Amino acid sequence: MVKEDRETLIEYARLHSDLRPGFKELLDYCNQRNIDFAIISNGLDFYIESILNGVGLGNLRKIAGKTEFGSDGITVKYFGPTGIEMISGFKEAYTKLFIQQGFRVIYIGDGISDIPSAKLCYRVFARDDLLAHCSEAKLECLPFNDLHDVIKGLAGITA
């Protein structure tokens, strides 16, 4: 339904998006401890890449919806780890892959789309809708307001 061109939407994202407080510090914390970090997002690749490139973090591993711009607007497709297009379960598929690869996945999320993945993970940091779901489902999680809280929580886990 969106008919704007890529450049217009990138500019909009740059003007209206901020990294969550503590993001760079969390990356530093993970890098210093050899903790792999990945962004798996239901967001769109072009604006995530633009925002991260704008703050010098373009090399982060990021997996998001693949966007194609055409005369009729934007088309977004989500591809799973095998390269097959997915209608649902995008984040969960990658979470399962990381677990199968032997990672103890620590998940940070805030939305309803994070629930299936959160149920699979070693530890979960949650806020907003994900926190509410974890509370209702009695799923263990650590609440956070910003990513400084996650760093404090990680220090307790990895100590």
For position 14, what pLDDT does the model report?
Answer: 84
Read off the pLDDT of residues 78-110 as tens digits, 9 standing for 90 and up.
Answer: 999 999 999 999 999 999 999 999 999 999 999
Structure tokens at 106: 């620590």
In whole angstroms, how large is the CA radius of gyration of the chain? 16
What amino acid is encoded at 72 in this protein?
D
Task: Say whether pTM exceeds 0.85.
Answer: yes
Domains of the chain: 6-158 (3.40.50.1000)
- CA distances in angstroms from 106 to 44, 71, 149, listed in the order given: 22, 40, 14
Indicate the residue type of 30.
Answer: C
Counting beta carbons within 10 angstroms of the beta carbon of residue 43, is it exposed (0 to 12), middle (13 to 18) or buried (19 or more)?
A: middle
Q: What are phi and psi of 154, to 5 degrees?
A: -65, -35
Least confident among 41-45, 90-94, 143-147: 41-45
With beta carbons less than 8 A apart as the criterion, state whether 129 and 111 touch.
yes
At residue 154, the pLDDT reads 94
Reported as a single tens digit per residue, the pLDDT across 52-78 is 998 899 999 999 999 999 888 889 999
